[in-house]
Structure 1
Amino acid sequence: MATANLRRGYLLGLAAYAIWGLFPLYFKALQAVPALEIVVHRALWSALFGALLLLVWKHPGWWRELRDNPRRLLILGVSGALVASNWLIYVWAVNNGRMLEASLGYYINPLVNVLLGLLLLGERLRPLQWLAVACAALGVAQQLWLVGSLPWVSLALALTFGVYGLIRKQAPVAALPGLVVETWLLLPLALGWLLLHPGAVSGQAAFWTTSQAGWLAAAGPITLIPLVCFNAAARHLPYASLGFLQYIAPTLVLLQAVLLFGEPLEHGKLLAFLCIWAGLLVFSIDSLRAYRRAGQPRSRR
């Protein structure tokens, strides 16, 4: 049974990160729709699909807990704004030839999480973690030096998602109900945007007779299905294994950027990636060692 659960966990984890890694193909299919409008519809359709999903996949007591703790609703409002910002930057990057920077951002993200823990939570870093963060900082610095510009897309994606995770920890709500409530709280803004922009691409009746209308409406399941897979995988896989799988998504984005969409991997960007990859290797080794130490029984004296 344990082996079957482990296999199921790996398959679900691979599915989640593969879908996330293939998101650029979806957003490229909607390239004629502005990034902000895609995010508006992503919030709308995710709220609708999430409500339907909650009817099937029960999470007993989640609404009562939120109702009795209004502070958690406020936190979910802030985290919803952050995840919407992350979506907007990512969609814009994909549809404006900045996929390599988007990939770099999600490679940096685990190291940004470590740094946020140090700065905001008072966590102490182990020596190898310091080295990993230093490698990431070197990658960003050499990008600034050689390319002459700060990789703001990468940093914005890493920071918005890192702070999002940090804030979500303050509202202990299960992954699916949490994301659904975040999208519900975004609904007034999304509906208000559509009302104030009657000339939007999706506001034209002719648009809903095209294939792109179907892609836009699919934003709900496309957003939530990988989250469901990830949530299920997390119950069956060790933390260290799940940590290694997270590199699948940015790797797929990198490969698509170079092989499918012809983004040039210049020397400056390649050096930045090499620095980040070195940092991730050190980080992964440290995480694996820490996981093994935590799993070892303490010797009795």
Structure 2
Amino acid sequence: MTSEPTAAAPAPVRTAADRARPGGATGLLYGIGAYGLWGLLPLYFMTLAPAGPVEIVADRVLFSLVVCLVLIAATRSWRALADVFRSGRTFWALALAAGLIAVNWLTYTFGVLSGQTIEAALGYFINPLVSVLLGVLVLKERLRPLQWAAVGTGAVAVVVLTVAYGRVPWIALILAFSFGFYGLVKNRVGAKVDAVTSLTMETIVLTPFALGVVGWLGAAGTLTLTGHGAGHFWLLAASGIITAVPLLFFGAAARRLPMTTIGLLQYLAPLLQFTMAVTVLGEHMAPERWVGFGIVWAALAVLTVDMLLVSGRRRAALRRAGLDAAHRPA
């Protein structure tokens, strides 16, 4: 797996991956902001009743597009947006990303509104393990022994939680894999498309579907956007900003950080979600589920230890290389 970049690395010994992803410290801040905001989303969704998951996602798409177009106009990025339309490979990559994030939004919203925020949090707890697995299956990266141990432990946790829930934890698995693939696609797009342009294109792709949903709900008389007062309307309208900001942060982070670092940052959001589900939303945790979650956390601990060991070895190697360069005759 690609190791976490070292900000203080001397220029002569920087790796190709480091050069390809400038601004590692900035990317880290973007990542913390993204996952911190995502961690607080359950509280926001609870205020949107009686809107259902499908309407909420449709409204998120439409209002996010409005926010994105304002940002495009403010940054005068129309040419960059046009370039994406002209580039078939980039356009279809972002269209795929749009489909993945739509699945993720819908599943997550359903989980929160149906009182299953804990399982939704589980999805994001196992997502770092999925990111590691995708690095092997898609990017052909080679796993270190501790990474294999973490992935294997995570698989055991899924089995234990399947028994604990009495069913496959499908909400968690869909969230983990949809967002894992979304991050992979955004990572592969890389610096070719900035975060604002990328999110704008994704919402453009999803807008026809969102308009269809709004029209269908309106015709059926079940659309809440315009039928429950100004306060409800503006709460739903705020989904544009609430959705766009963390996704923009994530897009900026994904273009600057390796997949392993993205995986580490993902601990923050599920930790906040899990804590709120248990302490604020009052969701029940049976003893056997605690066992399953404990195994997941053990897997993440193993993964974290591996990251720290590799990071320490990388820093030591860079220091040695810097000393060698300093003592090399001119």
Q: The TM-score by the shorter chain falls in which range?
A: 0.7 to 0.9
| Superposition TM-score, scaled by structure 2 size | 0.80
Deviation at 1:161, TM superposition (A): 0.7
Q: Secondary structure at the match of 1:103?
A: helix
| Structure 2 Cα separation of the partners of residues 272 and 203 of structure 1 | 38
Which of 204, 210, 217 pairs up with 1:197? Answer: 217
| Structure 2 Cα separation of the partners of residues 60 and 189 of structure 1 | 23
Matched with 2:18 is: none
Deviation at 1:82, TM superposition (A): 1.0
- Going from structure 1 to structure 2, the CA distance change for 1:180 and 1:64 (only over 3 Å counts) comes to closer
Matched with 1:215 is: 235
- Going from structure 1 to structure 2, the CA distance change for 1:279 and 1:205 (only over 3 Å counts) comes to closer
| Structure 1 Cα separation of the partners of residues 283 and 125 of structure 2 | 18
Matched with 1:89 is: 107
Q: Secondary structure at the match of 2:90?
A: helix
Q: Secondary structure at the match of 1:169?
A: helix
Deviation at 1:155, TM superposition (A): 0.5
- 1:125 and 2:146 aligned: no
Q: CA-to-partner distance for each residue in 1:236-265, whole Å, 9 max, x for gaps? A: 999987654431211111011111111111
Matched with 1:181 is: 201
Matched with 1:49 is: 67
Q: Secondary structure at the match of 2:285?
A: coil
| Structure 2 Cα separation of the partners of residues 233 and 164 of structure 1 | 13
- Going from structure 1 to structure 2, the CA distance change for 1:215 and 1:121 (only over 3 Å counts) comes to same
Q: Is the 8 A contact 1:194 1:200 kept in 2?
A: no
Matched with 1:23 is: 41
| Structure 2 Cα separation of the partners of residues 59 and 274 of structure 1 | 46
Which of the pair has more CA radius of gyration?
2
- 1:206 and 2:224 aligned: no
Matched with 2:156 is: 138
1:70-89 paired onto structure 2 within 5 Å: 70-89=88-107
Deviates more, 1:9-18 or 1:268-277: 9-18
| Superposition TM-score, scaled by structure 1 size | 0.87
Q: Is the 8 A contact 2:186 2:255 kept in 1?
A: no
Deviation at 1:269, TM superposition (A): 1.4
Q: CA-to-partner distance for each residue in 1:102-161, whole Å, 9 max, x for gaps? A: 001001001001112222332211100001101111111111234321111111100111
- 1:148 and 2:182 aligned: no
1:215-254 paired onto structure 2 within 5 Å: 215-230=235-250, 244-254=264-274
Deviates more, 1:44-53 or 1:162-171: 162-171
Structure 1 residue runs without a partner (length 5+) = none
Residue identity opposite 1:33 in structure 2: A
Q: Secondary structure at the match of 2:141?
A: coil
Residue identity opposite 1:29 in structure 2: T
Q: Is the 8 A contact 2:186 2:251 kept in 1?
A: no
- Going from structure 1 to structure 2, the CA distance change for 1:200 and 1:170 (only over 3 Å counts) comes to farther
Q: Secondary structure at the match of 1:121?
A: coil
| Structure 1 Cα separation of the partners of residues 194 and 259 of structure 2 | 17
- 1:278 and 2:281 aligned: no
| Structure 2 Cα separation of the partners of residues 200 and 66 of structure 1 | 38
- Going from structure 1 to structure 2, the CA distance change for 1:150 and 1:176 (only over 3 Å counts) comes to same
Residue identity opposite 2:169 in structure 1: P
User: How many aligned positions are there?
Assistant: 298
- Aligned-pair identity in percent equals 39
